[in-house]
């Protein structure tokens, strides 16, 4: 099942490995209103640089060419030339303007694109375009991912059914800061570009920007939302507040599901944990505390060991840079309070908490009792397999 107005395709181009889907194409039969969010890492891959420039002018795109196996980052003039040549080939084959093509790459940094493989594959890719290949594209963008990440949702805008389908990849180098990894959302909604861009940025801020696997931010992160308009709903613009809010909520739920799939599939991860901080003076401070805890290797290895080691949590909180009174802090695992006013509640509570830690998903709830600021950050545990995966990744 696809989204009205879009065709997709994926092939095994042999970019890094043989016989593995590694090149995908998304094609909108008409120029789609397209919003993007890109990595804030100042070392940006060639495709990211090109996409940001192209979206700046029109907020429209008609195709996305995406490959795994090579990030085309830190590849200099050659990398830029290769990226431009790829988009030129796609544009020619689809008979659309070159600046309507968005590019996206993921894989090893510093290696040049295998242009021979890509050049040979593009005609096949275009020939294979069809309405039902969304899952194949989602598979083609996987690297260390162990599962394909896709979401489909529908929502009634007025009396018109609007569809959103999203895909994402990402398992390592994940601590987004503005956008993360690769994610593409297709929708047939009819919407203005400023509204779509605003909805995307707001959604990303509360979803992809709230997850962390390892505290590292990639050079290639991007999220694109493309709207074909084929649902023919009444046009959503700045005056249609209720419809915009409805669409935005649905988009955010798509982004959040994809973001949580990334955490759950974090490299080597066996658990998916929500760090919820309440009672901060400001939301920003709550986020900062949550993020510091969510990125602490000591906290994450304790989760892997299923050890309710709250001492490591409070030590991480203490170096977060946010002021609070340690003697007022409460900490709970789900609804089991193990620290009350900075002190251990006792052995019984810790035993209860240990049961919570055996679950695959749980919450750590921290109350600072300083104000009303609240935020959540989503993280995974830190396992032996994370180290194995990343010690071996290039070999």
Active site residues: 180
Q: Is 105 annotated as a binding residue?
A: no
For position 177 contacting a second copy by CB under 8 A, the verdict is yes
CB of 286 to a second copy, least distance (A): 16
Q: Is 116 annotated as a binding residue?
A: no
Q: Check if the beta carbon of residue 125 is closer than 8 Å to that of residue 9.
A: yes
From 136-144, 183-191, 361-369, 387-395, give the range in contact with a second copy by CB under 8 A. 387-395
CB of 200 to a second copy, least distance (A): 21
Count of residues touching a second copy (by CB under 8 A): 63
Q: φ and ψ at 251, to 5 degrees?
A: -60, -45
CA–CA separation, 107 and 220 (whole Å)? 9
Nearer to a second copy, 256 or 312 (CB): 312
CB of 329 to a second copy, least distance (A): 9
Residues 131-170, one symbol each (x = binds a second copy by CB under 8 A, - = not), give ----------------------------------------
For position 379 contacting a second copy by CB under 8 A, the verdict is no
DSSP 63-79: EEEEEESB---S-HHHH
CB of 120 to a second copy, least distance (A): 24
Q: Check if the beta carbon of residue 378 is closer than 8 Å to that of residue 266.
A: no
Site residues for a second copy, 48-87, by CB under 8 A, read: 71, 73-76
Residues 222-241, one symbol each (x = binds a second copy by CB under 8 A, - = not), give --------------------
Nearest to 301 by CA among 205, 380, 248, 395: 380
Q: φ and ψ at 120, to 5 degrees?
A: -70, -30
CA–CA separation, 69 and 90 (whole Å)? 19
For position 47 contacting a second copy by CB under 8 A, the verdict is no
From 57-65, 84-92, 241-249, 322-330, give the range in contact with a second copy by CB under 8 A. 322-330
Q: Which of 238, 305, 359, 372 binds a second copy (CB under 8 A)?
A: 305
CA–CA separation, 33 and 16 (whole Å)? 32
For position 315 contacting a second copy by CB under 8 A, the verdict is yes
- Pure H helices in the chain: 46-58, 76-94, 115-127, 134-140, 193-206, 241-264, 283-295, 297-304, 310-318, 347-357, 384-392
From 17-25, 37-45, 185-193, 257-265, give the range in contact with a second copy by CB under 8 A. 37-45
Site residues for a second copy, 94-113, by CB under 8 A, read: 108-111
DSSP percent split of the chain into helix, strand, coil, nearest 5: 40, 30, 35
Q: Which of 57, 239, 358, 391 binds a second copy (CB under 8 A)?
A: 391
CA–CA separation, 148 and 166 (whole Å)? 11
CB of 53 to a second copy, least distance (A): 17
For position 284 contacting a second copy by CB under 8 A, the verdict is no
Q: Is 180 annotated as a binding residue?
A: yes
Measured at the CA of 371, the angle between CA 367 and CA 376, to 5 degrees, comes to 50
Nearest to 356 by CA among 303, 297, 277: 303
Residues 201-220, one symbol each (x = binds a second copy by CB under 8 A, - = not), give -------------xxxxxx-
Sign of CA dihedral 94, 59, 37, 246: negative
Q: Which of 7, 142, 312, 364 binds a second copy (CB under 8 A)?
A: 312
Residue 298 burial (CB < 10 Å; 0-12/13-18/19+)?
A: middle
- Pure H helices in 103-240: 115-127, 134-140, 193-206
Nearer to a second copy, 241 or 321 (CB): 321
Cβ atoms within 10 Å of 77's Cβ, excluding its own? 8
Q: Give the residue numbers of the binding site.
A: 143, 169, 180, 267, 390, 395
The residues of the shown chain that bind a second copy, judged by CB under 8 A, are 40-44, 71, 73-76, 108-111, 172-173, 177, 214-219, 295-298, 301-302, 304-305, 307, 309-312, 314-319, 323-324, 326-327, 339, 341-344, 382-384, 386-388, 390-395
Q: Give the residue numbers of the binding site for substrate.
A: 143, 169, 180, 267, 390, 395
């Amino acid at each position: 099942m696809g989204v009205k107005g879009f065709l997709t395709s994926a092939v095994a181009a042999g970019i890094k490995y043989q016989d593995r889907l590694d090149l995908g194409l998304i094609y909108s039969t008409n120029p789609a209103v397209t919003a993007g969010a890109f990595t804030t890492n100042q070392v940006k891959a060639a495709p990211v640089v090109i996409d940001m420039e192209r979206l700046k002018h029109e907020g429209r795109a008609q195709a996305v060419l995406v490959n795994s196996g090579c990030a085309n980052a830190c590849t200099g003039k050659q990398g830029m030339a290769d990226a431009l040549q790829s988009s030129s080939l796609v544009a020619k084959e689809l008979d659309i303007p070159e600046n309507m093509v968005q590019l996206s790459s993921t894989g090893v940094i510093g290696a040049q694109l295998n242009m021979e493989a890509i050049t040979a594959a593009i005609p096949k890719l275009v020939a294979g375009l069809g309405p039902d290949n969304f899952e194949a594209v989602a598979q083609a963008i996987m690297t260390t991912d162990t599962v394909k990440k896709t979401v489909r949702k529908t929502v009634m805008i007025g009396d018109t059914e609007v569809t959103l389908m999203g895909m994402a990849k990402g398992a390592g180098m994940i601590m987004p800061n503005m956008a993360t990894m690769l994610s593409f959302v297709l929708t047939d909604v009819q919407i203005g570009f400023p509204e779509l861009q605003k909805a995307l940025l707001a959604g990303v801020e509360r979803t992809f920007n709230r997850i962390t696997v390892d505290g590292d931010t990639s050079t290639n992160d991007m999220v694109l939302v493309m709207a074909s308009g084929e649902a023919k709903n009444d046009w959503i613009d700045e005056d249609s507040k209720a419809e915009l809010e409805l669409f935005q909520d649905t988009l955010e739920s798509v982004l959040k599901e994809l973001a949580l799939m990334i955490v759950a599939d974090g490299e080597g991860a066996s658990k998916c944990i929500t760090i919820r901080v309440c009672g901060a003076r400001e939301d920003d401070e709550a986020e900062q505390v949550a993020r510091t805890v969510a990125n602490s290797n000591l906290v994450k290895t304790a989760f892997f060991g299923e050890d309710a080691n709250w001492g490591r949590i409070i030590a991480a909180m203490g170096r977060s840079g946010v002021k609070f009174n340690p003697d007022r802090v409460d900490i709970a695992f789900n609804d089991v309070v193990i620290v009350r006013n900075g002190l251990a509640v006792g052995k019984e509570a810790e035993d209860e908490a240990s049961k919570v830690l055996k679950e695959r998903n749980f919450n750590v709830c921290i109350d600072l009792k300083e104000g009303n600021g609240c935020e959540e950050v989503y993280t995974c545990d830190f396992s032996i397999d994370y180290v194995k995966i990343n010690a071996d990744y290039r070999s």
